Structure 1
Amino acid sequence: MSQREAARHFGISRDSVRKILAFSVPPGYRRSAPIRRPKLDGFTGIIDQWLSEDRGRPRKQRHTAKRIFERLRDEHGFAGGYTIIKDYVREHGRRHREVFVPLTHTPGHAQADFGEAVVVIGGVEQKAHFFALDLPHSDACYVRAYPAATAEAWMDGHVHAFAFFGAVPRSILYDNDRCLVAKIEPDGTRRRARLFSKMLSHYVIRDRYGRPGKGNDKGSVEGLVGYSRRNFMVPIPNFPTWDAFNDWLEEQCRKRQSDKLRGHNETIGERLQRDLDAMATLPALSFEACDQTSGRVSSLALVRYKTNDYSVPVAYGHRDVWIRAYVDRVVIGSGGEVIARHLRSYDREDMVFDPVHYLPLIEKKIGAFEQAAPLAGWDLPKAFATLQRLMEARLLKAGRREYVQVLRLLETFEMEEVHAAVRTALRMGAISFDAVKHLVLCQVERRPPRLDLDGYPYLPRARVATTSPASYMCLTAAGQAS
C-alpha cells in the first residue's frame, strides 16, 4: 500500500509512516535547533562566573541554586522562575564533574593515611586515630590505632606495618598532612617535616603525594579507611588497653588475607606474595619513632613538652635536658643519662608527676608534706599508711621525716621489696627507718634478717593491741561505782 493508504489504515500521520519506513528502530525525538531560553540566556555568563569562582571557596560557602536565583532577581533584574535556574545549575554541575583515568597498580608500592573512629579504651569512650597502610596491588592492609595522629604516631605506624609485612615498600603515596609536609613549594615540590624525612632516609622509601584536597588520588587507602571503620570498629571496640586493641586489629588484617575480592581469582594473601617479592628487605635496626627536642627544668622540677609538664628529680633543677617523645611515653635525660620516664599525656596543660622525684626535697622541707601536689593521689599499699600513722604518733614531725626516708628507699629498690619490708617491720613492731632498710637489704641479698630488738634497745617498739569494749566501762556511772 502507499504511504497515504498506510497512514489512513493505521491512523497515524504520513510523517510517522515515512520515519517507520526509513528506520528499523524508532529514532526518537531529534532536536533540529538548540534550546532557546529567552529569559535565561542573557544571564548564563553571570551564573557561570559565580560557579567558577566558587571552586576556590569553602564547600559550605558556595552558591546554591536558590541563592543564585535570589541574586539574579535582586541584583540583575531577572524576571524568570526558580525552576530554570535550578535545572541550569544541575546541568552545569554535570558538565564540570571530574572524570578519572582507570589505574593499574604494580607490586611493591603502598598508600598511607589516617582515619578516625570512636572506641572505648580502659572504660573511657574516646576518639581513636588509626593509621592505615594499603598495598594496592594485593589489597593487603595494616591498621593500628593511636590516641592522636601525631608525627610520632605516623612514624610508629610505619615501623609496625613494615614489621608486620616483613618488608619495605618501594614507594608510598601520601596526602599533604602537616605531620609529613612542612611546606608545598610554588613548583609543587614538598618540603618534608624533619622526623618524616629521617624515617624515609632510614628505610630508603620514595615518597609520592596526592593533590591537595583530592582524596581520590589515593583511593585505595581511602577505601581501606572506610572498610576498617565499618568492619573493624562496628560495634564500638571495647578493650582494656591500646596494645590489646592493636593486637586485635593485627589479627583482623591477617584474617583478611584469606579473602578473595570481586574481580580476582586469587586471595589477598596469594597476591600479597608478588608485593613482598617486589619490596625491599627490612634494615637491621628499626627506626626509632620519637620526636627529639630539648628543654630546661623549671624551679618546680618540671620539663615542658608540647603543652604538658613532666617531672624530673629535683637535683636536676634549672638544667638543660633532652626529651624523646614516643607514642606511649616521654623519656627525659641529661647528658648520656636517662633521668625520668613517664607515660605520655595527650591532655592539655597537664602535670605528670613521679612522687619519688620530689622526696629528697620534701625530706628537707617537711612542712610541705601534707600539701605536696606530687604526693596527692599517690596510690600506696595500706601498710605504708599504717607505718606513717605510727611514726607520726611516736615522733610527730621527726616521725614524718623518718617516714619520707622510708619512701626514699623507692629510689633504689622496687615497690614490692619495700612493701614486703614494711609489712615485716609492722609485724615485728620495729617502727623505724633503720629497721625497714635492714629488712629490705636482707630481702635483696637473700639472707635472714638479724633484727633482735633485745640487742638494740634504742630501736622503738610498737605494740598495737585490739581495743576491748570493757576498757570503756570506767567512763560510765556503773563502772565508776564499781
Structure 2
Amino acid sequence: MLAVTQIKYIKHEVNQKGDSYSDIGRRMRLDPYTVKKYANKGDFTEREKQERPSPVMDPVKPILDKWIKEDLKKKKKNHRTAKRMFHQLVKYHSFIGSYRTVRAYVSKKKKELKEYIEEASLPLESIPGTAQVDFGTAPFLYHSEVIDLPYLVMSFPYSNSFYFQVFPSENTECLLEGLQRIFHHMGGVPHTIRFDNLSPAVKKIGAKGERALTDTFERFVLHHGFHYEFCNPGKGNEKGHVEAMVKYVRNNFLLPECTVLDLDQFNETLWELAEVDRDRSHYEKQVLQSKLYIEEQERWLMLPEKSFECVRHQEVKADKYGFVSIDQKQYSTSPRFAKQVVRVRITYRFIVILNEQNEVIVKHHRLYGVKRKSMVWQPYLDLLSRRPRAIKYSSLYEQFPQIWTDYLNNCTEEEQKSALRLLGKLLKNNDFRLLNQALQSASVHGHPSADQIKHCFYSLLHDDHPYQTIKPTVEVPQVPVASRGLSHYDSLFQNGGEIK
C-alpha cells in the first residue's frame, strides 16, 4: 500500500487538476493502473486478512507444527529440513501438494515461533517451560544430630509446581548435581532458568550488571543449552515464585525435622512428594497443576546425549606429611607426595587425589560440617612398617585410635613392624572398629603379638570365640614387671647416655 501523502497527491492531481493517469504515473514512477486504483478508491477501512481454506495444506499443518516444535528442542544440526519434511509427508501421510508450499509454510512457522520465544515483554510466570532456582535451609536429624542442611528448589511458575533435593552444602558441585538430577528425572531441560546471584554460579558482578560466571557453571550451561537469567543485586522479588516455593517446601515437607540415615536414599523419596502435590487446582487459572505441567513439558529442551560430569579439578601442593587442603579441609595423600603438587578431582561426594598420570592415589569421602581432616591409612602403613621409629616423631602417631597408639608405644621395633604390616593387610575402608575389638580381646592376658591379634580379628570376623589364653591350673610365681617397647631408648637420651 502507498503512503498516505502519495495517495493524497494522486487524488488531488486526478480529481482536482484533471491530470491523466499516465502523466502522474511517470512523475511518481508508478504504473498507471496503480494510479487509477488509488484515484478512484473510496474505502480505506483496514480489514483483517482472511486466510483462504487450503484443502491440501490444512490437514498436514498440525503435523508440520509438531515436527517444528520437536526440532526446536534439539541441536540445530539435528533439525529436519523442509525438504525432509516434504518427503515424510508424501511417504507417510499421502501428501499431494508441492515442496514449495511446504517450504513456505515451514519458514513462516519457524519465524513465528522464534518471535514468540524471544518475546521479552512477557513476565516469566506466564511462559511455560521456564524455571526459577534457589536454595533454602531446614533442620534434619542427620547422623544422630539435629543440623541445618540446604535444599535446592527448582520451581515452575507457569504450573506452580516444583522439585527439590537436599544436599550437605551450597557449593558449586551440589548446585550442579542437583540441577542435573532434576533434569534427568524430568526428562528435559527448561529453556530459561532464573537464578539469584549464587556464588557457585557467579564469580563477579560488573558495573553494568554483566556477570562473570564460574568456569564449571558456564560449561554446565553450554552442555545443556538453556538460557540463564540473574536477578539484579538485592532484588530477590525478581524470583519471587521460587522464594515462595522454598518456604512452601519447608513448611509442608521438611518440618518437623526429618530423620536422614542416607542422604541419597532420602532424596529418592522426594520426587513423589512433589508430583503428588500437583494434583490440586492452580491458585489463579483454576486448572489442575498437573495439566499445566504437561504444557510445560512440551516447551522443554531435550536432554543432552551424555550426562555432564559435575567435577572441579584443582592442583594443590601437599604439606610435609602429604596432606592437601581443599575448602579448608585436610585430606591425606601418600608420604611419597609430601611437598609435591598433586591433581585433585572434586565432586559433591568425593575428593580423589591423582598423580601426574591421572591415576588414583587415594579417594576420600568429602568432608562437611565440623570435621576438618580425613585420613586414609593404607598409603602410610607401608612406610611406617619399614620405619617404625618415625611414627613417634610425626603427627601421624596421633591419628591412630588411642588403643593402637598405646599398643605401638609398648612394642619393640620388630613388634611394631609386624603390627603395622598387619594393619596394612587387615584395615579396610579406614574402619578400625573390628581391629580395635581384636586388639582389646588379645590384650586381656598381656601384651599380644601380631599373630595373636590376627587370630582374634578373624575369630571376630567369623563370629567364632575370640582368642583366649589358657589359665594355668597351678600357682605361678610372680614375675617382675619388664619394661617393654622403645621407652628405654628415650631414657638413654634423657640421662646422658646412662641406662638406669
Q: TM-score, normalised by structure 2?
A: 0.59
- Equivalent residues of 2:415, 2:449 under 8 A apart: no
2-structure distance, mates of 1:140, 1:375: 54
Distance change (3 Å), C-alpha of 1:465 and 1:259: farther
1:286 to 287, 304, 307: 307
- Equivalent residues of 2:132, 2:155 under 8 A apart: yes
2-structure distance, mates of 1:414, 1:176: 39
Q: Give 1:143 shift.
A: 0.9
1:408 alignment counterpart: 424
1-structure distance, mates of 2:385, 2:418: 8
2-structure distance, mates of 1:285, 1:131: 23
* Larger displacement relative to structure 2 (325-334 or 182-191): 182-191
* Matching of residue 229 in structure 1 with residue 250 in structure 2: yes
- Which amino acid counterpart does residue 422 of structure 2 have in structure 1? V
1:113 to 130, 134, 158: 134
Q: Give 1:306 shift.
A: 1.9
1-structure distance, mates of 2:346, 2:142: 21
1:51 alignment counterpart: none
Q: Give 1:112 shift.
A: 0.5
Structure 2: gaps (5+ residues): 1-121, 443-447, 459-466, 480-500
2-structure distance, mates of 1:104, 1:436: 67
1-structure distance, mates of 2:431, 2:199: 43
Distance change (3 Å), C-alpha of 1:285 and 1:375: farther
2-structure distance, mates of 1:276, 1:219: 22
Runs (4+) of structure 1 exceeding 6 A deviation are: 411-416, 430-433, 472-475
- Equivalent residues of 2:128, 2:295 under 8 A apart: yes
* Matching of residue 255 in structure 1 with residue 271 in structure 2: no
Q: Give 1:370 shift.
A: 6.0
2-structure distance, mates of 1:352, 1:338: 16
Q: TM-score, normalised by structure 1?
A: 0.61
Identity among equivalent positions (%) equals 22
Distance change (3 Å), C-alpha of 1:266 and 1:298: same
Q: CA deviation digits over 1:17-74, x for unaligned, max 9?
A: xxxxxxxxxxxxxxxxxxxxxxxxxxxxxxxxxxxxxxxxxxxxxxxxxxxxxxxxxx
Structure 1: gaps (5+ residues): 1-100, 441-461, 476-482
2-structure distance, mates of 1:150, 1:431: 48
1:313 alignment counterpart: 334
* Matching of residue 275 in structure 1 with residue 291 in structure 2: no
2:261 to 214, 229, 240: 240
Q: Give 1:270 shift.
A: 2.4
- Which amino acid counterpart does residue 224 of structure 2 have in structure 1? Y
1-structure distance, mates of 2:414, 2:377: 20
Q: Give 1:131 shift.
A: 0.8
SS, match of residue 166 in structure 2 = strand
- Equivalent residues of 1:199, 1:287 under 8 A apart: yes
1:356 alignment counterpart: 378
- Equivalent residues of 1:180, 1:193 under 8 A apart: yes
Q: Give 1:371 shift.
A: 7.2
* Matching of residue 210 in structure 1 with residue 214 in structure 2: no
1-structure distance, mates of 2:176, 2:429: 35
* Matching of residue 471 in structure 1 with residue 475 in structure 2: yes
Q: Give 1:415 shift.
A: 8.0
- Equivalent residues of 1:134, 1:220 under 8 A apart: yes
2:206 to 185, 193, 196: 185
- Which amino acid counterpart does residue 320 of structure 2 have in structure 1? S
Q: Give 1:412 shift.
A: 9.6
2:186 alignment counterpart: 165
1:71 alignment counterpart: none
1-structure distance, mates of 2:253, 2:220: 28
Distance change (3 Å), C-alpha of 1:288 and 1:375: farther
The root-mean-square deviation of aligned C-alpha atoms, in Å, is 3.8
Distance change (3 Å), C-alpha of 1:414 and 1:366: closer
2-structure distance, mates of 1:308, 1:414: 18
Q: Give 1:401 shift.
A: 0.7
SS, match of residue 153 in structure 1 = helix
Query: Residues 95-174 of structure 1 correspond to what in structure 2 (within 5 A)?
Result: 104-174=125-195
Q: CA deviation digits over 1:60-89, x for unaligned, max 9?
A: xxxxxxxxxxxxxxxxxxxxxxxxxxxxxx
- Which amino acid counterpart does residue 162 of structure 1 have in structure 2? F
- Which amino acid counterpart does residue 407 of structure 1 have in structure 2? L
- Equivalent residues of 1:110, 1:136 under 8 A apart: yes
2-structure distance, mates of 1:177, 1:474: 72
